[in-house]
């Protein structure tokens, strides 16, 4: 079994998240972790514009490897912006 299949078995809700398969298979989740650690909010902006917000949130909620402080702070700024 490959790592992606295992991740989807452990987190069956991932099957319902738009673009989650590509988020994982393209290794965007690794880049996402780095972006959060290094506070590269531009990466979050680009990923959000490309439709990966739900995937980012779902992945963040499924992991507890480290603190997601930078992503969480960025998320608050978009949640409070006018739609």
Q: pTM to 2 decimals?
A: 0.88
**φ and ψ at residue 2, rounded to 5 degrees:** -85, 165
Q: How far is CA 56 from CA 1, 10, 16, 63, in A?
A: 24, 17, 13, 11
Over residues 55-82, the pLDDT tens digits come to: 999 999 999 888 999 999 999 999 655 5
- Dihedral (C-alpha) 73, 76, 82, 83: value to the nearest 10 degrees? 110
pLDDT tens by residue, 4-46: 888 899 999 999 999 999 999 999 999 999 999 999 999 999 9
Structure tokens at 60: 């963040």
């Amino acid at each position: 079994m490959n790592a992606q299949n295992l991740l989807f078995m452990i987190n069956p809700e991932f099957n319902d998240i738009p673009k989650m398969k590509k988020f994982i298979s393209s290794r965007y989740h690794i880049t996402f972790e780095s972006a959060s650690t290094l506070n590269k909010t531009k990466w979050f902006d680009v990923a959000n514009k490309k439709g990966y917000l739900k995937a980012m949130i779902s992945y963040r909620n499924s992991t507890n490897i480290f603190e997601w402080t930078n992503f969480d702070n960025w998320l608050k700024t978009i949640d409070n912006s006018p739609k």
